[in-house]
Chain A
Amino acid sequence: MAELTLVEAVNDALHTELARDNSVLVIGEDVGRAGGVFRATVGLHERFGPDRCVDTPLAEAGMLGAAVGLCMVGLRPVCEMQYDAFSYPCLDQLITHVGRYRWRTRGAMSFPITIRMPYGGGVRAPELHDDSPEAYYVHTPGVKVAIPSTPADAKGLLAAAIRDPDPVVIFEPKLVYRTARGEVPEGEHVVPLGKARIARAGEEVTLIAYGAMVPVCEQVADSTGISCEVVDIRSLRPLDEETILASVEKTGRVAIVHEAPRTAGFGAELAAVIAEKALLHLQAPVLRVTGYDVPYPYWQLEDLYVPSVERVSHAVRQLLDY
């Protein structure tokens, strides 16, 4: 075990997977010589050469489209999108091809593409460096989506994504890239997709979160004096309904927390699953603590937008007072 930051764990996963399988290559903007704007790909260019850690033209759709072609010759591309909101051009390829090509070939061809990107706010950045676009991705059939909140999961989920036969999108919480620090297994480490993690065990309220909202929920659990169970779902598709429902059945009170805007956000899907499968266990309506249905704000106002310990604590009290 080594103690690493979250972004160091990402880097560790890439080094480990590129060394393990020579069909894996990293492509992206500034990933080579610079080692990525967040240094997630540092050292790969030197260690594996310019053909396995490739600086591409500034073209997110072109990059992801080229990744489709790379898969057709048996390679396993890992595409870095430089920022959440810079990935939007690639949605064209994701929706029209990446999520459909296996189906289109009736399962004859695999498209083991990994897309990874830093996401989320709170970093005092210019416009369009703060988005939480996971709902766009998870709504696309044929695609899997995972979001780590700890260094160990950042390594393990990325390794699982790279080894998965299907396209997987990994959103990395950039707010905690260097503040989340923890023990990370050395060498090969895989965290299977579709398995949630109980970040805090508790009895009275279930807080469901992912990414940078997990530490916020943990602070709530540690500070309110109310027994909160924090479920870090880790994987949005496939979704570990079993762990979520078991927690809901135990506590009967649920708040779902994400940074993305509320309407049609992933919280809506989670609330629907809970309503369909655990309605009679609920003691109070399912609450959502989310970003608002407005563009991500000017950063001097961003603390009002991103769910805070105060907002989540307020929801917890509402659930108990219902």
Chain B
Amino acid sequence: MAPAAAELLELYRRMVLLRVFDERALVYHRQGRIGTYAIAWNHEAIQAGATFALGEDDWIFPSYRESPVGLVRGMPPATILQWWRGHPSGWWNPLDWNVASICVPIGTHVPHAAGLAWGKKLKNDPGVAMVFFGDGATSEGAFHEGANFAAVMQAPLVLICNNNSWAISTPLSAQTHAETLADKAVGYGMPGVRVDGLDVLAVYEAAREAVERARNGGGPTFIEAVHYRAAPHATADDPRAYIDAARVKEEREHECVGRFERYLREAGVLDDGLVAKVRSDAEDAMRTGIAEAEAEPPPDPSLLFEHAYAEPPPEIAAMLAKELRHG
């Protein structure tokens, strides 16, 4: 069933929020206000579209590419900016948002999502889990083990493969000899779907079906959202050494937020005034976010030693005491 106008506008608002976060984060990086940042530009259709199919009790497992995905749940931009600023306040409590911590190594969070989904099933809890990872992650053992685990346990999991055709400089052709990544689903005995990763409604529809299947006891689904990375991997990357510049130019012209905006204008849901308002609201949120992040006092040195254990073993307590004495 097609979403109603209000839902379409909410989906658009989330895409713009993610887009503006990314644009501003890049600026903040260049201004030296945040550290290295993994650029998510033109991944908004996948991130907003897939999560739009979830309820608030469902869990999201982001990779670093989805660092701002908590915005769709109302997470303050300051929190995510602090993560990229290396400040402890950026390490959010996953229970507050049902958004797991950002997974930095590739694909190793797929088993976590499988385990959480399996645990929900064991507890007769209706929740589902959704895990995001890239095309490169499908080469990792952890992806395989997690996908297989979820399938064997018939865990309510949705696997979202963000196939942006590149793993830093490694093209998909050097990553797999399979015709499509969705084909991998066959080997796990789960449905595999391919969608246009720049078509937010296509992503949403595929995710909606997968979530419904998971919730009804039908087990996991693998969704391959296909597009072409039109921005550097991260602020520390210069893709001119390896990427097809003409293709990038073309991709940027067909970027996903503008595409959805044109669709909504044609459908009579969006006009100039609303476009401007949605964008300026997002920009305001980012201005507030960076101001809040920068206003936060530097972390207390004791945080260096806290939280590694519920109760620090004596040797760690001794390290803390020594550091405080000499620090």
Contacts and interface: CB of A to CB of B under 8 A. Distances in A.
- What is the interface of chain B mostly: helix, strand, loop, or mixed? helix
A108 B59 CA distance: 16
Interface stretch (A91-99, A128-136, A203-211): A91-99
A72 B96 CA distance: 12
Interface residues of B, number: 45
A216 to B, nearest CB: 27
B241 interface: no
Contact of A70 (B93, B119, B145): B119
A296 B309 CA distance: 33
A75 B122 contact: yes
Interface stretch (A181-189, A235-243, A310-318): A235-243
Interface in B301-320: 303, 306-311, 313-315
Contact of B105 (A96, A99, A166): A96
Given A105-B101, A108-B93, A65 B119 contact: no
Given A65-B114, A92-B142, A93-B108, A102 B119 contact: no
Q: How large is the interface on A (under 10, 10 to 19, 20 to 34, 35 or more residues)?
A: 35 or more
Contacts of A73: 116, 119-120, 122-123, 125
Interface of A: 25, 51, 56-57, 59, 61-70, 72-75, 89, 92-93, 96-97, 99, 101-110, 141-142, 144, 164-166, 194, 237-239, 241
B105 A109 contact: no
Most chain A beta-carbon neighbours within 10 Å: one of B92, B94, B120, B145: B145
A214 B315 CA distance: 24
A238 B313 contact: yes
Given A51-B122, A65-B142, A72-B94, 8 more contacts: A62-B149, A65-B114, A65-B145, A66-B112, A69-B111, A72-B59, A105-B91, A166-B309
Given A72-B119, A238-B314, A239-B313, A106 B93 contact: yes
B114 A102 contact: no
B115 interface: yes
B307 A65 contact: no
Interface in B140-169: 141-142, 145-146, 148-149, 152
Nearest to B108: A96
Contacts of A141: 308
